[in-house]
Amino acid sequence: MNNSIRCDAFGRAGGRYWEGPVRTRSSGLWPGEIEPEGHTSITWSETVDRAQKEKVVEELGQIFESSGVVVVAHYAGLTVAEMQTLRARMREVGGSVRVAKNRLAKIALEGTPNAPIASLLTGMTVLAYSEDPVAAAKVADAYAKTNDKFVILGGAMGGTALDPAGVKAVATMPSREELIASVVACIGAPAAQLAGAIGAPAANIAGILKTIEERHAA
């Protein structure tokens, strides 16, 4: 009696090209075949999983590299609706919120100026970030005041690691949009006032003036 299974080249039943035992998808071995000593088989699912993890690490690396500020917080207990509210407030200021596996985030931080904040990545953590060096900190600080389940652990501004007090200090600084408005309002005012406006913390004078020029040209 022939117990062989009629399969195609991919081991699918019903094919026309192969009659014989089927290589198992989970192990990659034929029935009765012994895996060579010291050899570890890698399944298709493991390959895909690794590729997905590598993509996540790359995306997190971009976040840490390109963001003006990153805030790390615990969010245990937040409801879906509360998280959606936080995301919406971040979007309003051009920021974003991301929940990521701590292990992958730590890998993304390796060798970067922000590496010290890896110690904050324990438990249920969420990243709030924005290109504006102040915006995400402002939203996170304001949200933490209204929801005690959102606990700020610290963060990073450029290459500077921040503790909770540091995040709060950054949150008190004027945002990029506020600085632009301040500079525009001071144009034509005494030089001392203009100098005070553009000398505020976190100000990127070149970028602000360029934005003003673009708005006038529009």
Contact (CB, 8 A) for 217 and 203? no
Beta-carbon contacts of residue 69 (< 8 Å; ≥ 6 apart): 129, 130, 132, 133, 134, 135, 136, 137, 155, 156, 157, 170
Q: What is the pTM of this model?
A: 0.63
Largest CA distance in the chain: 101
Measured distance CA(169)–CA(37) in Å, rounded: 58
Measured distance CA(100)–CA(88) in Å, rounded: 18
Measured distance CA(32)–CA(45) in Å, rounded: 22
- For the chain, domains (ranges, CATH) are 48-171 (3.30.70.1730), 176-217 (no CATH)
Dump pLDDT digits (tens) for 162-187. Answer: 999 999 999 988 776 766 666 556 55
CA 111 to chain centre: 17
- Give every residue of the chain whose pLDDT is below 50, as ranges: 3-12, 14-27, 30, 33, 191, 194, 198, 201-203, 205-206, 208-209, 212
Q: What is the structure's pLDDT at 214?
A: 62
